Structure 1
Amino acid sequence: MTIFTEPLTADAFAPFGDVLAADSVNPKTINQGKCKRHHDLANLDLSNGRAGVSIFKAEPRELPYTLDLVERHPDGAQTFIPMSEHPFLIIVASDDNGTPTNIRAFVSNGAQAINFHRNTWHGVLTPLHAPGLFAVVDRIGTGPNLEEHWLETPLRIEEPSL
């Protein structure tokens, strides 16, 4: 089975999380008028821990991409903030009694970050270009906060043909 990518938009991604971009309607002007603050863009819903910031360096992948694993974090949201202006692949799925279903794939525009809502099925960090460097904000705490689901039949993810 093949899934085609779609552009990352706030409306399309809303069931899975937040799109973070400097495109809010009324940003607050700060720093002597030299900076626009696009405020409080992600819901960092965490339990049994605290928010931490980490740096991830992931190997770039290519489209078409073979998806065989999704994961979720039951105790906290997870935010991926690219540290370069390159698009990346974002894979998400709905939940049906503990099983991922209705898998979708988005591609960012190079100036967007994302926040997966707590307990949202998603693919692994999938940069499409080097250096694959991301700041990640997520739950730091004791106990497991990772559930993995291996797909019985891997899916192919590719860009739609024009």
Structure 2
Amino acid sequence: MIENITLTVEPLTAETFAPYGRLLAPEGPRDAGREGYDIWIKPFGAESQARLQIVRYHARPFLVRVMERHLHVTETRMPLGGPAAILVVAPPEADRPTGANLRAFRLERTGILLHRGTWHSIDAYPESGPHADFLFLSEEATVSELFDTPDLPPQRTEVVNLIKRDIHAVIDVSR
């Protein structure tokens, strides 16, 4: 039986996003700095060499097809201007994403750092315009296994096709 889910886009705040990761924004007292600038340190973690990428998400229907989670890296996404984009997440402690544990957030002008194991949509969905660009910080081994050896089952990432599991999750961007 097909489970039809409509996801409402939630405000992206430190509190609402805490189960899934952290916001990349100045919050709380600074960690370092001097006259002229302040520094907030965020806990990025990777088990192999860090890899910096720029990813362009193209406009597409607001249907969440595939979710993944990375077990060895705290993946980071930072908007690079352009339209807001929607990212869907599920808690890292969940064995699999389900219709009941999916949540949608608008990424606009604030980056995120996902906890290890947080389920997230492979795609981000631009709200308007032809595309949205993001700076990604991940790790070499995870990216390599996904793109250099796509025919082999991944060891550092779990992937779930929601459509094949009869979960049809649609993002409602009208609100």
TM-score scaled by length of structure 2: 0.75
Query: Retained in 2: the 8 A contact 1:71–1:121?
Result: yes
Give the residue type in structure 2 aligned to 1:7.
P
Distance 1:112 1:69 in 2: 24
In structure 2, the CA distance between the partners of 1:131 and 1:3, relative to structure 1 (3 Å rule), is closer
Aligned length: 152
User: In the alignment, which residue of structure 2 is the partner of 1:122?
Assistant: 120
Identity score, percent: 26
* SS of structure 2 residue aligned to 1:132: strand
Q: Deviations over 1:29-67 (max 9, x none)?
A: 54x52x443x113x32222x12121111221346xx111
The alignment status of 1:157 with 2:158, answered yes or no, reads no
User: In the alignment, which residue of structure 2 is the partner of 1:52?
Assistant: 51
Residue 25 of structure 1: how far off its partner (Å) = 3.7
User: In the alignment, which residue of structure 1 is the partner of 2:151?
Assistant: none
Residue 158 of structure 1: how far off its partner (Å) = 0.5
Distance 2:81 2:160 in 1: 29
Query: Retained in 2: the 8 A contact 1:85–1:111?
Result: no
Q: Deviations over 1:123-149 (max 9, x none)?
A: 123141444221110111265432210
User: In the alignment, which residue of structure 2 is the partner of 1:40?
Assistant: 41
Greater fraction of residues in strand: 1
In structure 2, the CA distance between the partners of 1:74 and 1:25, relative to structure 1 (3 Å rule), is closer
User: In the alignment, which residue of structure 2 is the partner of 1:15?
Assistant: 19
* SS of structure 1 residue aligned to 2:15: helix
Query: Retained in 2: the 8 A contact 1:77–1:115?
Result: yes
Alignment of 1:89-108 (within 5 A): 89-94=86-91, 98-101=95-98, 102-108=101-107
Superposition misfits of 4+ residues, deviation over 3 angstroms: 25-30
Give the unaligned 5+ runs of structure 2. 146-153
Query: Retained in 1: the 8 A contact 2:20–2:92?
Result: no
TM-score scaled by length of structure 1: 0.80
Q: CA RMSD in A?
A: 2.3
Give the residue type in structure 1 aligned to 2:71.
P
Q: Higher mean Cα deviation, 13-22 or 137-146? A: 137-146
Give the unaligned 5+ runs of structure 1. none
Query: Retained in 1: the 8 A contact 2:92–2:117?
Result: no
Distance 1:97 1:16 in 2: 11
Query: Retained in 1: the 8 A contact 2:84–2:132?
Result: no
